[in-house]
A = this chain, B = another copy of it.
């Protein structure tokens, strides 16, 4: 069993400060579409960020298991929130992962590792909505040729 603890302290208006142990403090606020300020992380952004980063950390685990050190890894997560019969809720999260590997024979292995990663990511698995994954693996050697 693992425990993850955070605290949030309200400052003023619709803003507060989020902390967790000795980690860098994060300013948080109501998103702008509900009257909050621009350019501050909202709880809704943090959900998208938790999914994106969980797919990354899980991918790194499975890539390492497959003996692959990626050249680069970039992913995007877009969380969609809608009015549902139970009120506002997330209805889907789309994750796009773009990875570059060094050698052509690593492409398929990397693809499989990232597929496994999304399935085993505890954040995706703990969400009630669907998380969809789109994976693109490039090979540096191939890129140089094209």
Do most interface residues of chain A lie in helix, strand or loop, or is the interface mixed?
Answer: mixed
Whole-angstrom distance from the CB of A51 to the nearest CB of chain B? 8
Please, what's the 1-or-0 string for A23-58, where 1 marks a CB less than 8 Å from any CB in chain B? 110111111011010111111111111111110110
How often does this chain occur in the complex, in copies? 2
A88 partner residues in chain B, CB cutoff 8 A = 120, 122, 125
Contacts of A120 in B (CB 8 A): 87-88
CA distance A30 to B120 in the complex (A): 14
Nearest CB of chain B from residue A72's CB, rounded to whole Å: 7
Interface size class of A (residues with CB under 8 A): 35 or more
On whether the beta carbons of B43 and A8 are closer than 8 Å, the reply is: no
User: For the complex, is A86 an interface residue (Cβ under 8 Å from B)?
Assistant: yes
A46: B residues at CB distance < 8 A = 46, 49-50, 53, 123
* Complex: A36 Cα to B23 Cα, angstroms: 13
**Which residue, A6, A38, A78, has most C-beta atoms of chain B within 10 A?**
A6
Contacting residues, chain B, for A33 (C-beta < 8 A) = 2
Q: A: which residues have CB within 8 A of B?
A: 1-10, 14, 16, 18, 20-24, 26-31, 33-34, 36, 38-54, 56-57, 60-61, 70, 72-82, 86-90, 120-123, 125-129
